[in-house]
Each structure stands twice: as structure tokens, then as C-alpha cells.
């Protein structure tokens, strides 16, 4: 194995952001922002260059550090998966950079502050660590990359230094550390069993046997803790809701995708023959539970940012639905196929849409000085672009034509049909209605006529509003970009009855959910407090209590160990062969 | 029982003790210490694996040792970051509890959150 032409781009993709971090730290003050402004376009160009090179060479890009080949040396590798994630992350980071100019800019003449310096440095650090996650070719480098990602993400939570955000950051750090130790333990076991940590070499040597099963279970569950897949979401809501809007967008759109990507790498590229269909069903089952619980608790929130944070939990659940759908016909090996493409598209469309949504929520918070959903009336008139961006992001998450999520859903539904797993069809279709529920809830409040003029605390920056809109739009139009390499029959005219029907059904289902579960009656007044609504609200409250119970430390860490044991057990179940 | 097996078993005990501490101790500092105990267990296991995998004529497999050093640096940074956060939290709130994670921002108005 040798370094391929253009392989140095991989090194630049990782090094450029970290050079930016060091330069920004050395120059200090408002220079950090200038360094970031310089690094963002460079990084975007490098990601584009990697994508272009891969498109034309068609294989895998490799860069051998120092010219040493594995198993002694360390290789950086990029395949199609890495290139797509690199590009998506570069676009989202640039969007967030533009958005953050208003919040974290320090124009000449204003005093230098600490939070902007830290924000720009950490933004670059998150980017560099994510790029390292996407191009690393060995499991130990991936461990270091994951830790770098956590260490740069945790301080983003508590940029404002309030007590509750510090607590959220510490909870996040401690739970993530527990997860990374499980991952490291798994990696150590793999080295003990097979004598290498290089992904390509390991894939050739690994056998379905106890040491591989133990390692797979430990590593997967450790990564799930970092991804905050239900019921391991203990740290996510306070951390994502308490951070400043630009930081929330980074955390929710990008950071959780890092560990998710690693689960994909592990299952599809390292041990496709070791994992089993039952264990994949467990992952997807946790995902389905995340969709139901995350969405229902989101509908019960009073604060917009917490609502968006809980919707992130539901969206993380979506990302795991593809695992059982990606098995081959005999159910023994994971394949790179339509389901994986669908899952990847879902991750990209969620990254762009969720960043846009958190940005819009942050602008609403900044303009009103609060984010109580019940008091959002009139905000649509005061901030039309922002509310429009929120709506577009919501439509994109629901999977309306021509969003990326729509195409992803199509691909996953096809895999579910062809493999006969009809139950995931129900989850995929029903999940969209849940998403529609909280989007309708927010929009209904935002579009309501205000009782008095809406007092705006602060004028929001036009640039930030359009950055949010641009990211939301790119998610909604993602299907067009993805169509090139995919078969053309997947997308159709959104106004055909065949497409319009399900769309309307999804929105109607969502509206019913919002009507039933919202904390304040949506139609105003207390006239509709019927027996039906009371029963539904009681059910919603019990979901909230279950969520609060699972987010206590002892129950969450026991859930961590239990899911590792359960996953290990299911890996033993080989099924008919 | 060979030395490598003995060290492996010790590592398992350390990991078990650390996990127990991480779950049952409510104090964040103790959780940080428990994290370090688990980390020591993992590192000890890796050391035992290096000894077992020694090639002919060598005292041990050098690759795990190189990785171990990196792992220790990572664990050290993690501990430093966690302790710094803990101190800041104590300065800001005067308490070090992790339990109260639903502060005023989640619907206390209805009192059921």
C-alpha cells in the first residue's frame, strides 16, 4: 500500500484547523477570529478537493504518515463515506462561522473578550477532530480523535460560565469519558486478539469469536454513550439547550455525528461479518425508542431550545434505523448498499437542517430575550426570515420532497421492503409525523397574532438570519445534489397525488400530536380540555417522568452496562446459517 | 498461572472497582477518580497484552507501550479538564452536585418536570 495521488490533501484537512487553533492561541485576542476567517475557506476548499479527487479516481485515498505502511505505521484513508462527511461538515462549519460573526465577532474598537477567543479556537478544534475521525485508518488514532472531539466540545457547552451550563458540561464530560473508556477497552481487546489496530488489516483477520464479540459490544456501546442514543442521552438536553446558539448548532449538528460515524465505520468496515442481525435490530430498536420518547418529550417542552434539543435525540434515533436494513439477504453480513447511502444522507441532511434550526431558535431567543414557546406570538412578523428558516429546517427534517431526508427515507423504505422488515417501514413513516408535530407546535405559536406589540430586546443580524436560512435550504434541496450518483426514479414531483397524500398525512398526524400533547392548548382558551386530551397529556407526562428517571446518573450508567451486556448477548445469536 | 494472566485478572478487578465507583458515588471528584481507576485497569490490561505478545528475543511488544503513553496523556488531559470544570462549577454555584440537572429552565411552572 502506498500514498495515492492527492493523498496529502487528507493530511492538510486534519492539520489546517489545528494549525489555526495554535496560531489563534498564539496571536490571541481578536486575531483568533481573523485566523478562523482564513482557515474556514481553506478547509472548505480542501474538503472540496478531496471530494473531487475521489470522484475522479473512484477508489480510496491513502496517505501514509512518514511513509511507513501499517501495521507499523499509521495510514490516513478516505473513501466515499469520509468524503461526503468531510464536505458536509465543512459546509456546516462555514455556515456556523458566518452566523457567529454577530455573536462572537469583536469588531475593531470594542474591547476583546474571552468567550469569542475560546469560541473560534474551539470551532476550529471541533472541525479538525471531526476531520481526523473521518480520515483515520486505525482504531487508536480514532480514539485520540474522539477524545479531541469531546475535549473541544465540552467547553463549548459552558462558554457563558453560568453554573447550570458548567454542570451540564461536567455531566457531558464524565459520561463521555465512561464511553471512551469502554471504546478503548474494546480496542485493547482487539489488539490482544489480532495484533493490529489498522482497519483494513483488522477487517481481514477478525473472526466471529468471543474476543471480537466482547470488543464489538464494548466499543459500540461506548460510542453510543457519546452519540447520546436513547437511553444513554443523560447529558444531551441540558448541554445542547444551555450552550450559546452557535455552539448548540456545532454540538447538535456535528459533534454527535463524529461518534455515529465511528459506529458506522466499525460495523461496516471493521467487523461486517462479526455483527449479527439481532444486534442490529437492538440498535435500531433503541433508535425507534429515541424517536418516540424524544419527540413526545420535545412536544411537552416550554422552551424552544429544549424542544430543539429533544428533537435532536429523536433525530439521532433515525440515524440508527439503517443498521438492520443494510444486511444482505441471508442476514449474515453488512453490505455497503442503498441502506447505508440512505443513512449517510440522513446524517448530512440532519446536520444542515439541525444547525439551521438551532441558529433560528438562537435568533428568536436573542430578539425576544426569552424562548418560551407559549409567548412566541407575533415573532413571525418581527423576524420573518428567521421563522421561515425554522419552518424550512422543519420541513427538511420531516422529509418533504426534495429534501435529503426524503431521499434517505425512500432508500431505507426500499431496503425495508426488499428485506421484509415491515416494522421499520412503520417507524420510518411514523417518525416523520412526530417531527411534524413539534414543527407545527412551534410554527402555530410563532404565527399566532400577538396580544400586544412584540417588544424586541435586540436587533438580530441579517447575516445570521440568512446563514440559518442558507443551511436549512441546503438541507431541503439536498436531494438534487445527491441525485447525480443515485438512480433517477427515486425523486418525483411533490405535487403528484402519490407524493402529496403521504405529505399531507404526515402533517395532519403531526398536527394531531401537537394538539394532543402541547403543554398549553394550541387553539387557545381551555375549551378543548376534553377527556381525550387529558388522557393524552397524562401519557405525555409519564413519558417525561420516564425520561427524567433515565437521565439520572445511576440509571443512565446502569443502562450503559446493560446495553453492553445485551449487545454482547445478541452478537452470540448467529441466526440460521 | 502466568504473570500475564495474573496482571490481566488484576486489570479486570480494577475496571470492575472503577465502574462500581463511577456508578454509585454521587460526588463528581470521586467519579473522576473512578474514571482514573478504570483507566489504570485498561492500561494494565494493555501492558499484559504487550508482554504476552512479545516476539522471540524481545521483552515485550513495543506497539502497545507507545499507544499506552498516548493513552495516559489523554487520560491526564481528561482529568485536568474535569477537575477544572468542577472547580469553576464550585466557584459559580457553591455546590458540586451533579444531580440537579433540571434547573428552572425546564417547565417548573407546572411542577411536573
In tens digits, what is the pLDDT along chain A, a chain of 577 residues?
Answer: 677 888 888 999 999 999 999 999 998 878 888 888 889 999 999 999 998 888 888 788 888 888 888 878 888 988 888 998 999 999 999 999 999 888 888 777 777 788 888 999 999 999 999 999 999 988 999 999 999 999 999 999 988 888 889 999 999 999 999 999 999 999 999 998 888 889 988 988 888 888 999 999 999 999 999 999 988 988 898 888 888 889 999 999 999 999 999 999 999 989 888 888 888 889 999 999 999 999 889 888 888 889 999 999 999 999 999 888 888 777 777 778 778 888 888 899 999 999 999 999 999 988 888 888 888 888 888 888 989 999 999 988 888 777 788 888 888 888 888 887 888 888 888 888 888 888 888 888 888 877 777 777 778 888 888 888 888 888 888 877 766 655 555 666 666 777 777 778 888 888 888 777 777 766 655 555 677 777 888 888 888 888 888 888 888 889 999 999 999 888 887 654 4
- How distant, in Å, are the alpha carbons of A17, A44, A91, A98 from that of A41? 11, 5, 10, 11
Interchain proximity A241–B102, CB inside 8 Å: no
Helices (H) and strands (E) in chain B, counts: 3, 0
Which member of B78, B93, B105 has the closest CB to residue A147? Answer: B78
In a domain, A43, yes or no: no
Residue B104 has pLDDT above 60, yes or no: no
DSSP for A489-528 reads GG---TTSHHHHHHHHHHHHHHHHHHHHH-SS-TTSSSTT
A516 phi and psi angles, rounded to 5 deg: -75, -40
Cis peptide preceding A181, ω within 30 of 0: no
pLDDT score for B112:
37
In a domain, A5, yes or no: no
Contact A324, A280 (CB under 8 A): yes
> What CA–CA distance (Å, rounded) separates A266 from A400?
31
Contact B106, A194 (CB under 8 A): no
Contact A342, A411 (CB under 8 A): yes
In a domain, A192, yes or no: no
- Chain A nearest-CA distance from B17, in A, is 13
Which chain A residues are closer than 8 Å to B103 by Cβ?
164, 238
**Chain A residue whose CA is closest to B104:** A164
What residue ranges do the domains of chain B occupy? 3-93
CA nearest neighbour of A471 among A354, A556, A344: A354
Residue-wise pLDDT for B34-62, tens only, equals 999 999 999 999 988 888 776 666 777 88
A67: DSSP letter: G
In a domain, A560, yes or no: no
Interchain proximity A553–B106, CB inside 8 Å: no
Which member of A140, A241, A557 has the closest CB to residue B67? Answer: A140
Q: Which residue has the cell 481528561?
A: B78
Q: Judged by CB atoms within 8 Å, which residues 30-89 of B form the interface with A?
A: 31-32, 35, 38-39, 42, 45-46, 49, 52-53, 63-64, 67, 70-71, 74, 77-78, 81-82, 85-86, 88-89
Q: Is A498 exposed, middle or buried (0-12, 13-18, 19+ CB in 10 A)?
A: exposed
In a domain, A355, yes or no: yes
Which member of B35, B46, B52 has the closest CB to residue A177? Answer: B35
Which chain A residues are closer than 8 Å to B110 by Cβ?
519
- Chain B nearest-CA distance from A235, in A, is 9
In a domain, A435, yes or no: yes
Which chain A residues are closer than 8 Å to B35 by Cβ?
174, 177-178, 181
pLDDT score for B105:
41
Please list the residues that pair with A75 across neighbouring strands. A64
Interchain proximity B23–A553, CB inside 8 Å: yes
> What CA–CA distance (Å, rounded) separates A357 from A95?
12
CB pairs under 8 A between A and B: 127
Contact A168, A194 (CB under 8 A): no
* 3-state secondary structure (DSSP) of residue A272: coil
Provide the ipTM: 0.88
CA nearest neighbour of A94 among A467, A466, A396: A467
> What CA–CA distance (Å, rounded) separates A107 from A523?
45
CATH code 3.90.1150.10 for B3-93: no
Which member of A164, A170, A301 has the closest CB to residue B103? Answer: A164
What is the domain range of residue A282?
Answer: 276-537
In a domain, A566, yes or no: no
* Any A CB within 8 A of B108 CB: no
B105: DSSP letter: T
Which chain A residues are closer than 8 Å to B89 by Cβ?
163, 166-167, 170
Which chain B residues are closer than 8 Å to A226 by Cβ?
none
Interchain proximity A177–B113, CB inside 8 Å: no
Which chain A residues are closer than 8 Å to B96 by Cβ?
none
* 3-state secondary structure (DSSP) of residue A460: coil
CA nearest neighbour of A260 among A101, A149, A128: A149
Please list the residues that pair with A269 across neighbouring strands. none
In a domain, A154, yes or no: no
pLDDT score for A139:
92
Q: How many domains does chain A have?
A: 1
Interchain proximity B101–A168, CB inside 8 Å: yes
Interchain proximity A541–B112, CB inside 8 Å: yes
Instruction: Summarize the confidence of residues B24-38 as an average pLDDT.
Output: 92
Amino acid at each position: 500500500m502506498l500514498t495515492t495521488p492527492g493523498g496529502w490533501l487528507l493530511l492538510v484537512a486534519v492539520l489546517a484547523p489545528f494549525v489555526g487553533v495554535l496560531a489563534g492561541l498564539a496571536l490571541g485576542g481578536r486575531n483568533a477570529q481573523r485566523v478562523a476567517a482564513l482557515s474556514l475557506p481553506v478547509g472548505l476548499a480542501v474538503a472540496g478537493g478531496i471530494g473531487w479527487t475521489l470522484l475522479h479516481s473512484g477508489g480510496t485515498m491513502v496517505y501514509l504518515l512518514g511513509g511507513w505502511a501499517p501495521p507499523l505505521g499509521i495510514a490516513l484513508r478516505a473513501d466515499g463515506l469520509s468524503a461526503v462527511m468531510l464536505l458536509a461538515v465543512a459546509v456546516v462549519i462555514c455556515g456556523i462561522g458566518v452566523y457567529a460573526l454577530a455573536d462572537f465577532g469583536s469588531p475593531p474598537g470594542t474591547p476583546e473578550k474571552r468567550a469569542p477567543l475560546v469560541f473560534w479556537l474551539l470551532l476550529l478544534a471541533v472541525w479538525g477532530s471531526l476531520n481526523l475521525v473521518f480520515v483515520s485508518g486505525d482504531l487508536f488514532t480514532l480514539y485520540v480523535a474522539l477524545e479531541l472531539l469531546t475535549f473541544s466540545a465540552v467547553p463549548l457547552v459552558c462558554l457563558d460560565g453560568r453554573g447550570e451550563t458548567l454542570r451540564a458540561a461536567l455531566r457531558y464530560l464524565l459520561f463521555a469519558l465512561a464511553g471512551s473508556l469502554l471504546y478503548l477497552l474494546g480496542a485493547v481487546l482487539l489488539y490482544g486478539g489480532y495484533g493490529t489496530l489498522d482497519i483494513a488489516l483488522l477487517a481481514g483477520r477478525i473472526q466471529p469469536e468471543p474476543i471480537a464479540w466482547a470488543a464489538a459490544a464494548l466499543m459500540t456501546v461506548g460510542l453510543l454513550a457519546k452519540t447520546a442514543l436513547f437511553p444513554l442521552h443523560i447529558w444531551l438536553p441540558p448541554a445542547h439547550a444551555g450552550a450559546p446558539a452557535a455552539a448548540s448548532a456545532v454540538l447538535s449538528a456535528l459533534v454527535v455525528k463524529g461518534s455515529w460515524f465511528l459506529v458506522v465505520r466499525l460495523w461496516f468496515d471493521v467487523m461486517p461479518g462479526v455483527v449479527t442481525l439481532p444486534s442490529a435490530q437492538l440498535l435500531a430498536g433503541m433508535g425507534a425508542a429515541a424517536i418516540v420518547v424524544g419527540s413526545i418529550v420535545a412536544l411537552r417542552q416550554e422552551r424552544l431550545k429544549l424542544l430543539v434539543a429533544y428533537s435532536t435525540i429523536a433525530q439521532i434515533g433515525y440515524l440508527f434505523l439503517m443498521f438492520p436494513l443494510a444486511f444482505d439477504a441471508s442476514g449474515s453480513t453488512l453490505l455497503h448498499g442503498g441502506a447505508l447511502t440512505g443513512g449517510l444522507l440522513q446524517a448530512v441532511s440532519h446536520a444542515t437542517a439541525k444547525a439551521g434550526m438551532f441558529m433560528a431558535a438562537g435568533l428568536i431567543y436573542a430578539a425576544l430575550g426569552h424562548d418560551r414557546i407559549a409567548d412566541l406570538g407575533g415573532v413571525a412578523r418581527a423576524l420573518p426570515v428567521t421563522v421561515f428558516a425554522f419552518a424550512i429546517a422543519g420541513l427538511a427534517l420531516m422529509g418533504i420532497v426534495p429534501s435529503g431526508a426524503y431521499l434517505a427515507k425512500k432508500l431505507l423504505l426500499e431496503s425495508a421492503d426488499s428485506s421484509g422488515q415491515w416494522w421499520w417501514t412503520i417507524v420510518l413513516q411514523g417518525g416523520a409525523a412526530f417531527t411534524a408535530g413539534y414543527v407545527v407546535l412551534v410554527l402555530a405559536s410563532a404565527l399566532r397574532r400577538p396580544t400586544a406589540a412584540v417588544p424586541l430586546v435586540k436587533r438580530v443580524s441579517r447575516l445570521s438570519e440568512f446563514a440559518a436560512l442558507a443551511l436549512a435550504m441546503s438541507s431541503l434541496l439536498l436531494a438534487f445534489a445527491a441525485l447525480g450518483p443515485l438512480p433517477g426514479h427515486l425523486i418525483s414531483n411533490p405535487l403528484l397525488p402519490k407524493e402529496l397524500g403521504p405529505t399531507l398525512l404526515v402533517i395532519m398526524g403531526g398536527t394531531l400530536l401537537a394538539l394532543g400533547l402541547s403543554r398549553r392548548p394550541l387553539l387557545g382558551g381551555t375549551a378543548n380540555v376534553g377527556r381525550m386530551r387529558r388522557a393524552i397529556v397524562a401519557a405525555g407526562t409519564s413519558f417525561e417522568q420516564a425520561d427524567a428517571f433515565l437521565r439520572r446518573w445511576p440509571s443512565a450508567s446502569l443502562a450503559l452496562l446493560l446495553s453492553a451486556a445485551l449487545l454482547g448477548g445478541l452478537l452470540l445469536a448467529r441466526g440460521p446459517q | 498461572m502466568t504473570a500475564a494472566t495474573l496482571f490481566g485478572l488484576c486489570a479486570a478487578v480494577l475496571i470492575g472497582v472503577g465502574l462500581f465507583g463511577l456508578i454509585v458515588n454521587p460526588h463528581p471528584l470521586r467519579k473522576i477518580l473512578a474514571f482514573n481507576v478504570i483507566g489504570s485497569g485498561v492500561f494494565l490490561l494493555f501492558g499484559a497484552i504487550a508482554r504476552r505478545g512479545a516476539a522471540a528475543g524481545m521483552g515485550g511488544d513495543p506497539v502497545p507501550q507507545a499507544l499506552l503513553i498516548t493513552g495516559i496523556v489523554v487520560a491526564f488531559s481528561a482529568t485536568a479538564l474535569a477537575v477544572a470544570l468542577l472547580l469553576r462549577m464550585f466557584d459559580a454555584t457553591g455546590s458540586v452536585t451533579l444531580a440537579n440537572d433540571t434547573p428552572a429552565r425546564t417547565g417548573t411552572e407546572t411542577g411536573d418536570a
